[in-house]
Structure 1
Amino acid sequence: MRIEDIDKNFASESIDGVDLFFLDAFTAPMELGGFPFWAHDRVYCRLPVSSLPEQSAGVRGLAWHCSGGQVRFRTDSSALAVRVELSSVAHMNHMPSSGHSGVDMYIGAGAAKHYAKTAMPVAGQSRYCALLAKGVAGGERDVTLNFPLYNGVKRLEVGFSPQSRVSAPTPFKVGKPVLFYGSSITQGGCASRPGNCYCHHLGRRLDAPIINFGFSGNARGELPMAAIIASLDLSALVLDYDHNAPNVDHLVATHQSFFRTIRERRPDLPVVLVTRPDVDLAPQESERRRAVVRQTYDEACAAGDSRVYFVDGFTLFGRSDRDACTVDGCHPNDLGFVRMADGIEPALRAALGAS
C-alpha cells in the first residue's frame, strides 16, 4: 500500500506546476518554537489555555496571535511551500498583511540565516497557499519559517518535493529561550514581515530560541503573567512593558513588584530592563517612565543583583533620522526595529555571556 493511501498528508498537490506533499508544522522531526505550552495544549496559543480566564480580555484574545512562533527543519527539498489557515481576516491601517498575517522564510543556520521570501494572504481571505522556493539544488539546508505577528493560526502546513528528506534543524547555540514581555512594539507592530520584529532580529543574531510575550496595549505588569514567566526555564528575560502602562503611577505600582515576583522564583535569570523607544512624542513623560524602570534596576543592583541589565529607550532609535523609524510616531517600521535590536543587543549579549 502506498504511503499516500495511509496518510493523506503525503498526498501530492500541485502549486504553480510543482508537485508537493504537506506536513503539519508540528510534525517531527520539524521543531516548533515560540509556543511554550504546545506539548500540553496542542494549540497555537502563547499562554497556557488553563491560564486564560485569569487574564484580561485583551490578553486572552492576543494570546492566540502567533508572534514569535517558528517552525525549523533541514531539508534537501527542491521546492518549499506553506499552506496557512488563519484565525481571522485581519486588516490594519498601519501594518501590511505581510507582517500581521504573513509567514516569512529564512535559509541557513545560526547567525548566518538570511531572508528568502514571504507568503501572505490576499486581502479579505483567511486561507492562503504559497510557493516559497522551487528548483533549489545543493543538498540539505536549514529552513526557518516565522509565524504571523498579529493574527492567529489554526493550521500551518509545510510543503516539500516528493521523495525529499526532512530532518531536525541545527541546534541553537543558546539552548534555552529568551522571553520578551511587553507592548505592541514587542509583539511586532508594525514590521513589514515577521522576521523584522526586533525580537526575531535578536534571536538570529544570538542564535537563540525566542518566546514573544508582547501583548498589544495589554501587557501591564499583571502578577499572574509574572508567575507564568517565572514558571518557564529561560536563558534570559527582556522586560519591555513600559509602553503599555496607562500612566506613570501604574508603572510605579507594578514594575518593581513584577520584577521581584520573577526574581524570587528565578534568582539566577538574567533580566534586561528596557524603557520605551518612542520618546519623541512625549519626552517629559518618557523621562518619568524611564526613571521608574531605572529605579527598579538601581535597587536590584544595590541589593547585590548582578543579573540585571538596563537599556535606555532614549537611545534605541539612534541619533540621526529618528523620525524615519516609525509608521505613526510610535510603532517602529523595519528601520526602527533594526535600531532597537542594535540598542538591546549589547545588554542581551552580556546577559547571555555571549561573545
Structure 2
Amino acid sequence: MNKLYRGISRVRQQLNYLIAKQRLIDKNNQLSKIDIDLERLPDKLVAGMAKGLRVNKKFPAGKSIYIDVEGEELIIEVLYKFRRILDNMDNRGTSGIDIYSFCENDGYCWLDTIFPVNNYQMYVKKVVQLTSGKNRFKLYLPSFAIIEGIYCSCGLVNVSCKNDVEIVAYGSSITQGCAASRPGLNYLNQVANRLNCEIVNYGFSESAKGEEALLNYISSIPTKIFIVEFDHNASIDELQEKHQKAYMTIRRNFNGWIILLSRFSGEISISLEEEKKRINIIQNTYEYATKNGDDRIFFYNGSQLFTKNKEAFFVDKIHPNDKGMVEIANMLCTVITEEGMLK
C-alpha cells in the first residue's frame, strides 16, 4: 500500500508540476528567476555509478543563495520538478527552503520555511515583509527535492553564491540532511552558520561507499577541511577494503585538515560487536596516516557522542533528529575551533 500511495503521489506531483509551470510561464514577465546551478555533481562524473549517486546529486542539499532586496515585501515563488517522499521525514524536511535573515549583531537567524503542505504540491509562494532599506537573506535549499526554478517579485538588488569554500563534506544520507525537520538544521548547515563559513555538501543517500572517482573529484576542490562520514552504507568488508584507500585518494589532492567520523548510532543501528569492528577500521586509517607523518588529520569516535539515552537523538535508530543534528554540529564546531582548522 505504501508503494501504491507513493506512486499515486508522484503521478499527482507531475500533473501539478506541469500545471504550475504553465501558470508561471503565463506571468513570467512579472518575475525574476534566480539563475544558479542547483545540481551537486556533473552528469559525466556519475555516469555508471550507483543509482543513489545519480539520483541524489540532483537534490541541492547544503546549497545556499544570498539575496539582497529592497522594498516593502519579498515574494518568493518556488516550482518543484520532483520531490522525494520519505517515511522518516515530512514535507518541510524533504522539500523545505529555509529563509534566514541577516541581523547585524547575530549573523543569519532563521526567519521562516517555504514548503509544500502535502506530498503532491509542486508550487509554493511565500511573502516576507521587509524593513526599510536593504535586506539580506540566505536561503538554504532542499535536501530531497529537485527545483525547477526560484522566482522573486520584489526590489531584487543582488543574488549571489559564495565561491570560497572552507569545508567539503562527504557522507551518507545523514550528511545529505536526513532526517532534519528543515534544511537549516542539517548539521553541516548549522556549522556553516555558526562558524560563518561555506560548506559544500556531498552527502548521498544510499551511497558514500568510498567511490574513488567521486572522491578524486571532490578532494580537488580548494578548501581547508575535508569531513569524511563513511561508516553507514558500506558493509564491513567494503569499509575494510576502501576506507584507507579513500583517505589516500583525498590526501593525494588535498593538504588541509581531514576529519574522520565513525557512526553515531552504534548499538542501536548495529550490534556493539559490529560497531567495534567499524571503529577499529577507521582507527587503523587514522594511525596509518599519523605514522606516515600526517599531522592534519583528526578522528572522532562517534560512539562517544551520545552516551546516555541514545535513541532520543534519532528518528529511526540511524538518522539523527534535530536534537541529534545539534549535538553533531556542536561537536564539529568544538573540534574545528579548538584545533584551529579554519586558520
Same fold (TM over 0.5): yes
CA contact (8 A) 1:147 1:194 kept: yes
Equivalent residue runs for 1:16-31 within 5 Å: 22-26=31-35
The reply to whether residue 56 of structure 1 matches residue 50 of structure 2 is: yes
Whole-angstrom distance in 2 between the partners of 1:77 and 1:315:
49
Whole-angstrom distance in 1 between the partners of 2:282 and 2:264:
13
Q: Deviations over 1:116-171 (max 9, x none)?
A: 0011113133522222412x2242232111111112222222332xxx25136697
Give me the TM-score of the superposition, normalised by structure 2. Answer: 0.85
Q: Secondary structure at the match of 1:277?
A: coil
Partner of 1:181: 170
Identity, % of aligned positions = 26
One of 128, 133, 140 as aligned partner of 1:133: 128
Whole-angstrom distance in 2 between the partners of 1:125 and 1:258:
39
CA contact (8 A) 2:65 2:160 kept: no
Partner of 1:115: 110
Whole-angstrom distance in 1 between the partners of 2:166 and 2:81:
26
Q: Secondary structure at the match of 1:113?
A: strand
Equivalent residue runs for 1:120-269 within 5 Å: 120-134=115-129, 136-160=130-154, 164-167=155-158, 175-245=164-234, 247-266=235-254, 268-269=255-256
Q: Deviations over 1:21-69 (max 9, x none)?
A: x32222xxxxx5xxxxx4xxxxx21111221213212211111111111
Equivalent residue runs for 1:79-90 within 5 Å: 79-90=73-84
Give me the TM-score of the superposition, normalised by structure 1. Answer: 0.82
Whole-angstrom distance in 1 between the partners of 2:153 and 2:191:
28
Structure 1: runs of 5 or more not aligned = 1-7, 13-21, 27-31, 33-37, 39-43
One of 336, 339, 346 as aligned partner of 2:327: 339
Partner of 1:306: 295
Q: Secondary structure at the match of 2:47?
A: helix
The reply to whether residue 277 of structure 1 matches residue 272 of structure 2 is: no
Q: Deviations over 1:201-252 (max 9, x none)?
A: 011111111111111111100111111112211221100021121x212101
- Distance 1:272-1:77 versus aligned 2 partners, 3 A rule: farther
Aligned-pair CA distance for 1:312: 1.5
Q: Secondary structure at the match of 2:232?
A: helix
Q: How many residues align?
A: 316
One of 65, 68, 87 as aligned partner of 2:62: 68
- Distance 1:133-1:252 versus aligned 2 partners, 3 A rule: same
Whole-angstrom distance in 2 between the partners of 1:131 and 1:205:
26
Q: CA RMSD in A?
A: 2.4
Whole-angstrom distance in 2 between the partners of 1:60 and 1:354:
31
Aligned-pair CA distance for 1:253: 0.4
- Distance 1:9-1:271 versus aligned 2 partners, 3 A rule: farther
Q: Secondary structure at the match of 2:123?
A: strand
CA contact (8 A) 1:80 1:132 kept: yes
Whole-angstrom distance in 2 between the partners of 1:171 and 1:147:
14
Whole-angstrom distance in 1 between the partners of 2:66 and 2:318:
32
Higher mean alpha-carbon deviation, 194-203 vs 229-238, is at 229-238
The reply to whether residue 94 of structure 1 matches residue 102 of structure 2 is: no
Partner of 1:3: none
Whole-angstrom distance in 1 between the partners of 2:284 and 2:27:
54
Q: Secondary structure at the match of 2:145?
A: coil
Q: Secondary structure at the match of 1:297?
A: helix
Structure 2: runs of 5 or more not aligned = 1-25
